[in-house]
Amino acid sequence: MTTRTLIRDLAHLPDGSEVSVSGWVETVRDQKKVQFVILRDETGSLQLVNPATREGDEAAATNPEALELTESISTLTHGSMLSVAGTLKHDERVKLGGLEVKIGSVDLASLSLPELPIAEDSSVDKRMDWRFVDLRRPDAQLLFRVQTTFEHALRGWWIERDFIEIHTPKLMASASESRAELFEVPYFETTAYLAQSPQFFKQMAQSAGFGRIFEIAPAFRADPSFTARHATEFTSVDMEVSWIDSHENVMVMHEELLTAGIQSVVERHGEAIRDRIGVELVTPTGAFPRVALQEAREKVAADGYTIPREDGDLDPEAERRLSALIKAETGSDFVFVTDYDTAIRPFYHMRHDDNPALTKSYDLLYNGTEIATGAQREHRIDVLEAQAQDKGMSLEDLEHYLDFFRYGVPPHGGFGMGLARVIMLMLEQTSIRESTYLFRGPNRLQP
């Protein structure tokens, strides 16, 4: 097997080096005397050059290999995959990094159809139809390099603090939150449900004595939303910790975790994000602002907006307005909205002792959009049962979950956060479709 050199590594090799590069064709300029091919791999683009030998040329009679090479280059189409062996030349006149390779031989791996199914100005839905071609864009690949770095930094933060990574089942016998958002799946002689979140199982880990756990895994919501920030299948980032005093402990860890993740992205990709996407990503400093939900409502009302939801929860426009106000006041892209009404929150959120109408919970907004929900959980079995009944839930349906709390469980709390939504907002994308490898929504199950 010939040793392949990535395009980004060519600059470190001396002029005249014999190299082998592999990738796909971006452009072919087939001129009479010379042929230029722009080749791209996962790290960058490179100019390839070949002095053309045409039928009838004097050189064609004496060098049939050169004629064959010229003719093979003439047949190349946009997207064709190939390997090229040749001689590296450093030339500052070449716009693509001051490098080019004189083609010695071409090994065509696969020839693309001549007309690509999408163009640069294709709609997002059209691009999703042909996602494997769409993802060849450098900007698209950068999103997933950022995601890789971000996830690695989160895992590093957790592992340094002795967290345990768990993998919870995605087939469940009953709902973890709302039955209205469940996907039903035939399961032998019964019905199973795709997990909306790992909520119940990460709480089980607290009863099991794991102390601190995390998971990055798929979750499913049968939510018929067609917004730019919703998906029916998404990657959920979850954390749960024992022996906390309140939801404030969870928020402190949450902001430290996100700061570590963003800092790693800035250090590794900050320049590329600025050059390719036009975003100047900055690492957060200090604690994120905290605003109680009631205060948030008052701020938004003073800004001239009336929240239309009957339960008083912030809608997307209220989130945008509140975030803009906090940004103007503090300079922060983040804001914790805390102390949600009991009516808005799940039965397992702990309520304030001095005001049981409010929960020890929060939403985290980032650049105007909610990315996470966190809370201290109720760990006292009698209180938990009463809160479930208060929500009209059947204790019989919750029997296996409630068993977690019958044999001792410490005070605990945690959060769930949407990975693709964080990346979308971090890189200022217009839709979660851009930051999801293969998007799933109410009307999309392919590719």
395 is in an annotated binding site: no
221 is in an annotated binding site: yes
State residue 306 phi and psi, 5-degree precision.
Answer: -105, 120
268 is in an annotated binding site: no
Report yes or no: 296 and 313 within 8 Å, Cβ to Cβ: no
Report yes or no: 7 and 42 within 8 Å, Cβ to Cβ: no
The residue among 109, 137, 105 whose CA lies nearest residue 124 is 137
377 is in an annotated binding site: yes
State residue 376 phi and psi, 5-degree precision.
Answer: -85, 135
Q: What is the DSSP string of 148-197?
A: HHHHHHHHHHHHHTT-EE----SEESS-SS-GGGPPEEEETTEEEEE-S-
Distances (CA, A) of 312 to 201, 319, 354: 30, 12, 21
> The dihedral of CA 324, 330, 332, 334: what is its sign?
negative
Report yes or no: 366 and 423 within 8 Å, Cβ to Cβ: no
420 is in an annotated binding site: yes
Q: Who contacts 273 (Cβ-Cβ below 8 Å, separation ≥6)?
A: 142, 146, 265, 279, 281, 427
Cα distance between the two ends of the chain: 33
342 is in an annotated binding site: no
413 is in an annotated binding site: no
Measured distance CA(436)–CA(447) in Å, rounded: 13
Report yes or no: 337 and 315 within 8 Å, Cβ to Cβ: no
Measured distance CA(91)–CA(97) in Å, rounded: 9
- Residue list, annotated binding site for L-aspartate: 177, 221, 373, 377
- Residue list, annotated binding site: 177, 221, 370, 373, 377, 418-421
- Residue list, annotated binding site for ATP: 370, 418-421
